[in-house]
Amino acid sequence: MKRYALIPILALLLLATGCGYHRLAAPDGGRVEITEPSLRDPEETPDPPPAEKPPAQAPSTEEEADPVQDPSAEGGQEDPEPPDVKDSVPPEEVNPPSVPEASGEGAMVALTFDDGPHGEYTDQILDILEENGAKATFFEVGRNLWNDADAVRRAEAMGCEVGSHSYRHADLGKMSAGEIAEDLQKADAVFTEVLGHAPTLLRPPYGSLNDAVKYTTGRSVITWSIDTEDWLSRDVDKILAKVAEAGDLSGQVILMHSTYATTVEALRQLVPMLIEKGYRLVTVSELITQYYGDQVLPNGTYGYSYFKNGKDVILPPEQPVQPETPVQPEQPAEPETPAQPEAPSQEGGAAPPAESPAAGGPVAA
């Protein structure tokens, strides 16, 4: 076969293999143009005509020199190894904040969950607690109890604590004593129906307090010292960071909500982490009695200053022994002085007058 007959065959082979050439040298020194669109950059400098005996590695040299070749295409070169993660990711993302070690063997912390029960997430939270041998306190909204009454019963059966979060998540701090009592009594009725008793702990929604909330409900008022803001961020890493930023957690109360999937996911990491760091997860009442050695008192308020700074519980102000305007007790009405019997007359004379009690003398019978 003549050499000229091989030219069309070579051209077709080059197109089929996509090797990137768009010009071939003819034996007589001329060039055969291939009109198929090239994968090369149209503005790229044309290749020089090949020598009579091209180097054996000429095709690979051209591919390596091609600045627009896609390395992900078949036959392309592999991407170089990515840089070390620590060099390209902020440190806080590589090593997320971790809670500090417990300050002592008796370190305790109380997890609390508001706004439930949730038809799905409350049971998931209980699963996590049960798997880790932990307890928590749930402040439930009265009208939400029927969302998952079984989960509320399960919480108590596990040794967790159930408190009231009002009937309808009302801002109790803006209500009168009568309105507060009405709301809590309505909630108590549902709690009693579900659990057989009314809660003795109260967490006012929004942490909103007034004197009526603190001193007139007959409950122990519980707020918190660490707010994870899980309701705001709904972000697992930010929830964990809020706990880590709080420093030593001994004796503190952590506020969370049982109504968000992100809270559940954060809890999957947080509970074992706390236990690993030496904290025992207890109920609020256990924290007050076992860690602080105090009583859980009705009409006592246990808040930020108590759990964070170790201040005394806030109790109703004592009534002064002698108030500025003393209230006189109601005196029983004095009995009417019975009519004196008429003394018998002496020989028809008048009876002698009785002596006045003010004079100290006896009253005639």
Q: Using the Cα atoms of residue 85, residue 242, residue 124 and residue 111 in order, give the sign of their dihedral.
A: positive
The phi, psi pair for 91, rounded to 5°, reads -55, -35
Given the residues 115, 148, 230, 257, the one annotated as active site: 257
257 strand-pairing partners:
114
In a domain, 229, yes or no: yes
pLDDT, residue 76, reads 36
> Does residue 9 belong to any structural domain of this protein?
yes
Q: What is the pLDDT of residue 121?
A: 98
Give me the phi and psi of 357, to 5 degrees please.
-60, -30
Would residue 323 count as lying in a domain?
no
Cα–Cα dist 7/20, whole Å: 17
Specify whether 7 is located in the same domain as 156: no
> Residue 232's pLDDT is what?
98
Residues 132 and 220 both lie in one domain? yes
- Quick one: pLDDT at residue 91? 42
> Of 182, 215, 214, 221, whose CA–CA distance to 199 is shortest?
221
60 and 107 both lie in a single domain:
no
Taking alpha carbons only, the member of 187, 203, 199 closest to residue 256 is: 203
Burial class (CB in 10 A: 0-12, 13-18, 19+), 251: buried
Consecutive H or E run containing 164: strand 161-164
- The residue among 64, 92, 116 that closes a domain is 64
Q: What was the pLDDT predicted at 96?
A: 59
Structure tokens at 233: 């961020």
- Kindly state whether residue 355 falls inside one of the protein's structural domains: no
Tens digit of each residue's pLDDT, the chain (365 residues)? 445 555 555 555 555 454 444 444 444 444 444 343 333 333 333 434 444 434 444 444 333 333 333 333 333 333 334 344 333 444 444 465 688 888 778 999 999 999 999 999 999 999 999 999 999 999 999 999 999 999 999 999 999 999 999 999 999 999 999 999 999 999 999 999 999 999 999 999 999 999 999 999 999 999 999 999 999 999 999 999 999 999 999 999 999 999 999 999 999 999 999 999 999 999 999 999 999 999 999 999 999 999 999 999 999 998 554 444 554 555 555 555 454 544 444 434 434 333 333 333 333 33
31-33 and 23-25 beta bridge pairing: antiparallel
**0.75 exceeded by pTM:** no
Instruction: For residues 236 and 285, state if they share a domain.
Output: yes
The residue segments making up the domain with residue 36 are 3-64
Look at residues 320, 300, 322, 319 and name the one whose alpha carbon lies nearest to residue 311.
300
CATH number of the domain to which 174 belongs: 3.20.20.370
Tell me the sheet residues that pair with 119.
Answer: none
Helix, strand, coil percentages for the chain (3-state, nearest 5): 35, 10, 50
Please report whether residue 13 resides in a domain: yes
Query: Residue 103 has what pLDDT?
Result: 78
CB 239 within 8 A of CB 228: yes
> Do 167 and 303 belong to one domain?
yes
Q: Is 257 a catalytic residue?
A: yes
Q: What is the pLDDT of residue 104?
A: 77
Backbone torsions φ then ψ of 152, nearest 5 degrees: -65, -40
On whether residue 116 sits in a domain, the answer given is: yes
Max intra-chain CA distance, the chain: 185
Query: 114 an active-site residue?
Result: yes
Residue 238 amino acid letter: K
- Clarify whether residues 53 and 142 are in a common domain: no
Q: Do 9 and 112 fall within a single domain? A: no
CB 257 within 8 A of CB 111: no
Residue 80 lies in a domain: no
Tell which residue, 249, 262, 260, 188, has the closest CA to residue 219.
188
Specify whether 135 is located in the same domain as 189.
Answer: yes
The domain boundary, picked from 64, 95, 113, lies at: 64
Contact 40, 68 (CB under 8 A): yes
Closest CA to 89 of 198, 221, 237: 237
List all residues 6 or more positions away from 265 whose beta carbon is below 8 Å from its beta carbon: 236
Question: From CA 39, how far away is CA 201, in angstroms rounded?
Answer: 75
Indicate if 210 and 299 belong to the same structural domain.
Answer: yes
Number of domains in the chain: 2
Catalytic choice (114, 115, 148, 183)? 114
pLDDT computed for residue 173 by the predictor: 98
Same domain for 36 and 143, yes or no, is: no
Q: Are residues 116 and 30 in the same domain?
A: no
152, 140 Cβ separation under 8 angstroms: yes
Asked, for residue 73, whether it belongs to a domain, the answer is no
